[in-house]
Amino acid sequence: MDLYFDNNATTPLSDAVKKAMIDAMSYYANPSSPYQLSRIPREIVENAHKQCADLLGTQPNNIVITSGGTESNNLAIKSILSLYAECDWKSIHVISTSIEHPSILEILYFFEKKGLQLTLLSPSSEGIIDVADIEAKIQPNTKLISMMAINNETGAIQDYARVARLAYEKGIFFHIDAVQAVGKIKIELNKLPGVSTLSFSGHKFNGPKGIGGLFVAENISLTPLLHGGGQEKGLRSGTENTIGLAGLAIAAQEANSQLISRYQHYLQLRNRLLEKLSLLSVQYDVNGSKNPEYQAAWTINLSFKNIRAESLASRLNLLHGISLSLGSACSNNKESHRSYVLLSMGLSNEQIDGAVRISLGNKTTIDEIDILANAIHLEISHLLSLSGRATETY
């Protein structure tokens, strides 16, 4: 039996999404063509915009379809900074955080090498960025604030609504990386006028990989990364991926209709796992916010004392068919290093080395949680016995 607990990395397609994508394969005409054969492909494109807009609480014309979060983040930040391309980069100031996704940080580091003045704020020990710290760092030349809505490693939920109000008051562009939030929590962009751009990715909420989007506020003018036929209002040229868009539309529709029930399900699973581990006398620390209002229920980052996380994860995978993560899947192909997110939170090397991320899906069951808890207990017991620490309380 394969048990999947890495839904922050990617999620399985729902049955309805699979069906929509298979059905869309029959409609091969180019959506941009003027003849009747293109009518249904064009409707697929339009419906994807509508369903994503409904999910975000905005209008379809504010949605630009992209290949996913990384492209959306690049389109947003590079477009905003390109407004100042004729300026001395040393005169431009940007505020972000030390716990952002690499698709944000690498862009900012790129411009920092050109002279951009970059301030990266560190979170609290619970992974939360203090909005007062953001306000205190604003300078007369601050042009952009970029912050993720929910951290992919810890599930810490940032107060992006307050930051949006602050950015609106100060007249500063505000980009939200909402890849881990869209389809999981209610987002109402029509009530957040301070948000300039917001990125999302379909495969994080049971849609297909390679398709996502960017919300762009009415008053924002972006510069395309890709030039060509002028699709997506000229911001993302290239023939539309109607198969992916068909799946994205259904995934957005399902997520929107099930937001509350899914969150309640995640909360039930989370509580069950932590209670079960405690009953089994497994010693752990939760890395994230202790305030449920600022903690995504589906993300559980745990540090186990005197345990190497890679050893635990390997044994869980090989012996129990359990898939979970040591951190962000987007960094796993790089040279091994400790999580910069957990380092920024002030965790010790021992705590980081013993940390695993368990991320739940809407199809995860209570029985699977019980199997996971029992397997963790069994393998930690084994690893401690190998290290000669079996008699210690853990």
Residues taking part in catalysis = 330
Residue at token pair 């020990």: 125
Q: Are 269 and 369 in contact (CB under 8 A)?
A: yes
Q: Do β-strands 355-359 and 299-304 pair in parallel, antiparallel, or remain unpaired?
A: antiparallel
Ramachandran category for residue 364: left, alpha or beta (phi over 0 → left; psi -120 to 50 → alpha): beta
Q: Roughly how many angstroms between the first and final C-alpha of the chain, as a whole number?
A: 28
Residues in contact with 242: Cβ distance below 8 Å, sequence separation at least 6, in sequence order: 24, 27, 31, 41, 44, 45
Selection from 179, 120, 122, 188 nearest residue 151 by Cα = 179
Q: Are 143 and 171 in contact (CB under 8 A)?
A: no
119/116 Cα distance (integer angstroms): 10
216/212 Cα distance (integer angstroms): 13
Query: Helix 242-257 and helix 39-56: axis angle, to 10°?
Result: 30
Q: Are 56 and 198 in contact (CB under 8 A)?
A: yes
Helices H, strands E: what count in the chain? Answer: 12, 12
User: In Å, how far from its chain's centre is CA 246?
Assistant: 21
